Amino acid sequence: MKRYPSFLHYFSLRQKMILGFLLVSLTGVFTIALSAHHYYTKATSKDFYTLANGASAGLNNQIDQYLNSMAESTYAMVAGSLQLSGDSLLHIPDSYIIQEWLAGSIERTAQNRLQIENLFKLHITLSYSEIESMVLISNTGEVVSSRGESDAAVYRQQRWQEQPPQPVPTLLQMKQSRLSRIPVVPLVVPIYNTKKVKIVGRLILNVSTTEIRKIMGGTPIGDTGYFFILDPGDHIVYHPDPALVGQSIAESRLSPFSRIRPDSILTVDKVKFLTTYSASDFTGWRIMAVVPLPEMASGLHVARNSIIMVMLFLLAFVFLIVPLLTRALLAPVMKLNKNMREVRRGDLNVTVDVLPSRDEFQMLGNNFAHMLTTLNELIDKVYRFQIREMNLELRQKDATIHALQNQINPHFLYNSLDIIKSIAFLEDVPKIERMVGNLAAFFRYTAKSDRIEVSLRDEIVHLNEYLEIIRIRFNDRHIGKNYIPEKYMDVRLVKLTVQPIVENAVKYAVEATHGEAEIIISAYDAQDDLFIEVVDNGPGIDEERMNLIREQLSASGDDYYESPTPGDKSVGLANVHARLKLQYGTPYGLSVVSFPGRGAAVTVRIPMQKKKNVQANIKM
């Protein structure tokens, strides 16, 4: 770059490309294309046909042998003994049951069917695990399946007795297994009577295509070429794409290949494919071979001599001109690439030289330098803005929570209540003394605004003081019952969560029944959350009020206190729900269920947060 800076900086990128690449590339490209095209195509086609025909014939032979061996493995079983391995035979006391069942010499009872099913399952386990199921069909249409009676019923509906059996194993059209939903190939094996040497039934082996896929997958043909198999009905038995298996080729995306002829070139979507196929006499299947013409490169050796001559001519230009051009052209690009890698690693303080130039690459580097400077400025501004915005949001949230807390924390003159309590004590009025004492404690608890969260234990103590007042009001009736386990007492929750819910139940359940209703408070945990339930057996919640509660609970914590009628907000369910959502997030809060005529239930969901401070047990 130092040797030719003034000369190259005054040329545009287009001019440099014309000067360099036209001189080096065009001469060689046209010469190679004209001399090699004809010979390359001819040699490639010949090599492909030789390779594909041999490979497809070999694959057909492997598949035929595989299916024949599978059919032969059943001969001993249906004749009366089961071949396990080598020359050893497993003799089963009931091994002749298939012959006897087909001949009708035994009753076709459920027990006999079960013995045949077990014989099939044993054969599948010991011989060919890829057999999905085995189905025995007599000439009279009686059916036994290794999959049980439900599978046998399906085959009975097909009226096999009306179809003449074939004297040799045959294949049926591939189908989807009803149980495993995988493609299976039905292999029908005739069963001969061992005494009269006549066909008395047939055995259907539903063979999974897994082994066929293994056989076909082990024989590649180029990088993108492939084999696929068609049955006599032109249904796809195998294809590298499993989604195509079982489809008719005419209705699939392979429909253009339905026109394949042996040793032919087929054009599909402007791409030429070398195609051929080989058919099997046993299965009737055709193994089709397809490969794109440009991929087959074996014919290149035919044009090698001419290509070498052209390459020698081309290399003379490359060694003389290309190094000079690449050195000048790529220096700014390499430097820019290095700078961009540093930026990708997070280093935004990369120094990029800005040089006046008409070179597009250098201009790109200059623009990158300006962009990096602007990006640093924007990041700095955005960072400061986000810090400021986060601080404002935190302050706003904290202020909102305190405002909600203060709404239900009026500071009453509980000192005066203490005086009333003392007078009641002196005048020997115990109910007034208890009520005023609990009322003073109630107001002291609500007036404390130093903490947003308290322990569940503190909430229950506060709730007991409130319920004591309610009991006195209703002649010491035991209205509320606490069934919260001790293990949850140290869980942290927003202050004044449980008492407003119980107060709501008192208003709409206990008062409505003149003190006859009961309130039960319980708790349980699930998925790291604590659920507190307040249930009453009052008259329930009417539909109009239930709709209002749902509307209030569906709003977010912020929406609840941004409504145009803040004066309507009360120390009720919506208020508690709003505070819980503001403190813990959207998943938490209240849910309400009403049972008209039987009561209502309110559930509080909070996260399981504990404070290591164990106190004495609290009981109602």
| DSSP structure string for 462-475 | HHHHHHHHHHHHTT
| pLDDT in the model for residue 617 | 41
First-residue to last-residue Cα distance in the chain: 90
Please give the mean pLDDT across all residues of the chain. 77
CA of residue 544 relative to chain centroid, distance: 42
Question: What's 299's DSSP letter?
Answer: G
Cα separation of 473 and 467, whole Å? 10
% of the chain beyond a pLDDT of 70: 68
Tell me if residue 595 falls in helix, strand or coil. strand
* Per-residue confidence band for 609, with pLDDT thresholds at 50, 70 and 90: confident
330 or 202, greater pLDDT = 202
User: Quick one: pLDDT at residue 391?
Assistant: 67
Is it the case that residue 397 has pLDDT exceeding 70? no
- 451-607: which CATH architecture? 2-Layer Sandwich (3.30)
- Phi, psi at residue 83, to the nearest 5°? -75, 125
Of residues 358 and 564, more confidently modeled = 358
Amino acid 328 reads: A
Q: Report the candidate in 181, 291, 157, 189 with the shortest Cα–Cα distance to residue 246.
A: 181
Select the more confidently predicted residue: 160 or 279: 279
45/293 Cα distance (integer angstroms) = 8
pLDDT band at 591 (very low <50, low <70, confident <90, very high): very high
Q: Residue 363 is inside which H or E element, if any?
A: helix 360-407
Give the separation between CA 369 and CA 350, rounded to whole angstroms. Answer: 9
Higher pLDDT, 322 or 207: 207
Provide, for the chain, the percentages of residues in helix, strand and coil under a 3-state DSSP scheme, each rounded to the nearest 5: 50, 20, 30
Q: How far apart are CA 528 and CA 588, in angstroms?
A: 12
Domain residue limits, the chain:
1-302, 451-607
Q: pLDDT band for position 377 (50/70/90)?
A: confident
Quote the pLDDT of residue 291: 86
Where is mean pLDDT largest: 216-230, 335-349, 401-415?
Answer: 216-230
Cα radius of gyration rounded to whole Å, the chain: 44
Read off the pLDDT band of 411 (50, 70, 90): very low
Whether residue 502 contacts residue 521, with contact meaning beta carbons closer than 8 Å, is answered with: yes
Superfamily per CATH, domain 1-302: PAS domain (3.30.450.20)
pLDDT single digits (tens) 87-145: 444 444 455 788 888 888 888 888 888 888 888 888 888 888 888 889 988 888 888 98
Residue 587 gets which letter from DSSP?
Answer: T
Residue 347's Cβ-side half-sphere holds a number of Cα atoms within 13 Å equal to 10
Residues of the chain with pLDDT > 90, as a percent, come to: 11
Q: Is the pLDDT of residue 278 over 60?
A: yes
CA angle at residue 123 from 119 to 125, to 5 degrees?
Answer: 115
Q: What is the pLDDT of residues 11-61, one digit of tens each?
A: 655 455 555 665 666 566 566 666 666 666 677 777 778 888 888 888 888
Model pTM score: 0.44
pLDDT exceeds cutoff 60 at 409: no
